[in-house]
Structure 1
């Protein structure tokens, strides 16, 4: 597959401004003309390999930090928003979208937010009855979605919190001793907090009494969940000020979103504490991302390991660009993040041809799939089922499918690709992102037609779909 041209004008301009140099000075250090630099900064020309190497040499930057990860996420979200029938008079042009994303990302974010507001408004108006008088706020994005988008667009990596958690993990000996011993000793010795067992009938996972300095845990929690809850308490006590500052800097519209973000950031710290960045990255490379071995090595759950793999985006020390998602039986995506080109739909269910749906049929197994999206990018996709809850016969269980994967160029660094024929084009399943925005016209598994598409209905003939779709690129 051909490598796309790299348009990173905004990043080059930010680098120049950070170095406090004029275009003339900057172009001289790079060994290029002022006009070429001007064209690069305005995304009129891509960056050549020679310029990339010169940027790395002259300004000591990691080339991986110039990748288009953020742009891919923003481009996907903007493309989906503009595919709405609301914009029926406008045909989405990929070149124009890239210009907006690269040159004016703030406008792209604003348009996405406006589209979300429109959707919420439309959905609530469709079901409104006697609550019309309270409809003034329906156009706002929900606090949960606002926080979800915050983590999505920071690449699911929060540097200051990750660094602090790693430093604390080294201080208390995570990885040298069993995690429960390290965490509980630190909690008692540093914060004076004792552990206690909840009553047998108590359904709480954890409860902290600030006055008595007692953390009460459910005695039937799995070890990995128990350790995470202790790490979460340490996060609240040790990183509270940092978390508050990061959440405040996100400038959420409501107090509710701010508080939800604080929970997310405390959880982030807890995950980074029990799975320290460099230690975890090194182990992942050593075992070639074998999920079972990583869970045993760190005493973590499968979901914790998969989630952590998707956050390894530290500048200068990046892991494999991985996508990660958790879905329920109804196909709802309850967690999603992608450092790869694959981006999840913001609305609607996931593609039915994606192997994550098969995970519910084969509990305990890791299902592999070679897949290709409509843009021609190929992926190694892994899926498995997990169960949560179930503390006793009468307690309910929640079942989720976990999806994890990478672009095929990184597949050799995964043990799961060892016996797969990666070069065989026919081995790749043709998946999409979501039926409502998928451009494939010949998919028999399509649930609904793509929005902004023209349907051709023929009454005297019938194929697998009751209609034909005029190609979106015509």
Structure 2
């Protein structure tokens, strides 16, 4: 029987590199030519029995290591690529054999990464089982319900036709004129027998709003501003009066779990509350006449700056649409709290993760409106308006909750806004996010781009914290 040929070039090369030997030095020790050793390392020549014995004698190499297959690493790689996530990536095992033989350290890294992924998936599965045992809805498809709701709402328009129509019809029946809170209180009392009461901090220290079904009273925290109190009352009223419209829109979202639907229902109730406070036709007319001056709009409708800005991002009724705005809100640590858009948040074109955006600078000037034009690497430009938002009032010694909001639109349509003078200034060069931005020499860069290798040169230091090729 003919002896099986042994091709172990990558293993021989690893032995040589580990000993810091040149091909000439190793070839001389093995009594072969450097060119022949080069062919062996490239798997173009097999290892002979004599050469195997020479390697074992000179470098104390384990012959079984050279003669054996790729062993455990190949089996583990097969296990990795048997996962349904990767099973369709390779037509056969030959590429795995080549990876295991030619790049065993990379193969080991892939195996470790897959093990970490499997461990996290197992933990999430255990968490899902624990939640189900305690009566909570399970996590769907390895994704938290809140993330699913956020992603769903970010992808679609912020205009909900059924809610808008129902809110306009309901708002027309309210008394109180421009005083929304008074009209809603009258409706709650007359139609549902619910009384609204503002509670002091020491009675309701941790809640903004609470409905007590036994006493039929709606409690509102005194921590809230008048605009926020009206908004909380509107959310409660919308949940009661506009539920059919909310549920119809909810069905269209096609969410995967009951928990995701519950979260989305809260979000849609907030949308309905904004529609009640700022009826579509009246608000659109006021927005156009004031050239979208958010401060004037919030004063006219008795709402907060954040509510007026969010309402602008919802005005996309067919045949009666406003400028298509999008909106982001973050906290002081940069955590994203919400992202919405009149036509879906422009993630691909705008991103919203650049530290140079004025939404971050707004924290340095609380209460001030910052307007500027930004330009993306692909040349797209946007008018952005940013301002901080104050949270509920705090007691002495508490730290106030402050967030920042950015509302933006294409710079081409932004010239007609009261903030349009910012388009005459030099635009600020931004990117979608550091990981996706290839602007060189950016002083604000926080991470290297994933699309370029790092340029590590001990003799050169660039302006950016991360230089890349």
TM over 0.5: yes
Give the deviation of 1:377 after TM superposition: 1.4
Q: For the residues of structure 1 that align with 2:466 and 2:208, how far apart are their CA atoms? A: 51
Residue 219 (structure 1) aligned with residue 222 (structure 2): yes
Q: How many residues align?
A: 347
Asked if residue 355 in structure 1 is aligned to residue 358 in structure 2, the reply is yes
Aligned twin of 2:246: 243
Change (3 A) 1:273 1:138: closer
Cα distance between partner residues in 1 of 2:405 and 2:187: 32
Could you tell me which residue of structure 1 aligns to residue 27 of structure 2? none
Equivalent pair of 2:357/2:430 in contact (CA under 8 Å): yes
Give the match for residue 453 of structure 2.
454
The answer for the alignment partner of 1:149 in structure 2 is 151
Q: Please give the alpha-carbon distance, in whole angstroms, between the structure 2 residues aligned to 1:123 and 1:358.
A: 41
Instruction: Report what 1:194 is aligned to.
Output: 195
CA distance in 2, matches of 1:302, 1:248: 30
In the TM superposition, residue 145 of structure 1 has moved relative to its aligned partner by: 1.2
* Alpha-carbon offset, residue 220 of structure 1: 3.6
1:266 matched to 2:269? The reply is: yes
- Give the C-alpha shift of residue 264 in structure 1: 0.8
- CA separation of 1:216 and 1:157: change in aligned 2, threshold 3 A: same
Once the two structures are superposed, the pairs formed by residues 373-452 of structure 1 within 5 Å of their partners are 373-418=376-421, 420=422, 422=424, 427-452=426-451
Larger radius of gyration: 2
For the residues of structure 2 that align with 1:396 and 1:456, how far apart are their CA atoms? 43
> Could you tell me how far apart the structure 2 residues matched to 1:411 and 1:133 are?
48
| Cα offsets for 1:269-300 (capped at 9, x unmatched) | 11111011111111111111111111110000
Deviation at 1:258, TM superposition (A): 0.9
TM-superposed CA distance for 1:390, in Å, is 2.4
CA 1:123–1:186 in 2, change beyond 3 Å: closer, same or farther?
Answer: farther
Look up the SS of the partner of 2:172 in the other structure.
helix
Structure 1 residues 123 and 195, CA, compared in 2 at 3 Å: closer, same or farther? farther
**Offset at residue 391 of structure 1 (A):** 3.6
Match of 1:367 among 351, 366, 370: 370
Normalising by structure 2, report the TM-score.
0.67
Could you tell me which of 165, 168, 175 is aligned with 2:167?
A: 165
Task: Work out whether residues 124 and 138 of structure 1, in 8 Å CA contact, stay in contact via their aligned partners in 2.
Answer: no
* Contact in 2 for aligned 1:385/1:400 (Cα 8 Å): yes
Contact 1:285 1:413 in 2 (8 A): no
Flag structure 2 segments of 5+ consecutive residues without an equivalent: 1-85, 90-112, 129-138
SS of corresponding position for 1:401: strand
Residue pair 2:354, 2:431 contacting (<8 A) in 1 also: yes
Q: 1:466, CA displacement in angstroms?
A: 6.0
Which secondary structure state, in structure 1, belongs to the residue aligned with residue 353 of structure 2?
A: coil
Give me the whole-angstrom Cα distance separating, in 2, the residues matched to 1:239 and 1:324: 25
Query: Does structure 1 conserve the Cα–Cα contact (< 8 Å) formed by 2:195 and 2:216?
Result: yes
Show the counterpart of 1:178.
179
DSSP-derived class of the 2:143 partner: coil
Shift of 1:207: 1.4
Are 1:340 and 1:407, in contact at CA under 8 Å, matched by a contact in 2? no
1:124 is displaced (CA, Å) by 7.6
Residue 229 of structure 1 is matched in structure 2 by: 232
Deviation at 1:453, TM superposition (A): 2.2
CA gap 1:123/1:397 in 2 versus in 1, 3 angstroms: farther
Alpha-carbon offset, residue 379 of structure 1: 1.7
Contact 2:372–2:383 under 8 Å retained in 1: yes
Alignment partner for residue 298 of structure 2, among 280, 295, 300? Answer: 295
Report Cα offsets for 1:196-255 as digits up to 9, x if no partner. Answer: 232541122221122432212223421111111111111111122332333234332211
1:172 counterpart SS class: coil
Q: Paired residue for 2:327?
A: 324
Residue deviations 1:90-143 (CA, integer Å, cap 9, x gap):
xxxxxxxxxxxxxxxxxxxxxxxxxxxxxxx98984985995872787962210
C-alpha distance in 2 between matches for 1:268 and 1:460: 56
Residue number in structure 1 paired with 2:126: 134
Distance verdict in 2 for CA 1:431–1:466, change over 3 Å: closer
TM-score normalised by the chain length of structure 1: 0.67
Over aligned residues, Cα RMSD in angstroms? 3.1
Structure 1 135/393 Cα, relative in aligned 2: closer, same or farther at 3 Å?
closer
**Separation of aligned partners in 2, 1:392 and 1:139:** 42
Query: Could you tell me how far apart the structure 2 residues matched to 1:457 and 1:466 are?
Result: 11
Shift of 1:445: 2.0
Query: By how many angstroms is 1:454 displaced?
Result: 2.8
Counterpart of 1:283?
286
Q: Which runs of 5+ in 1 are unaligned?
A: 1-85, 90-120
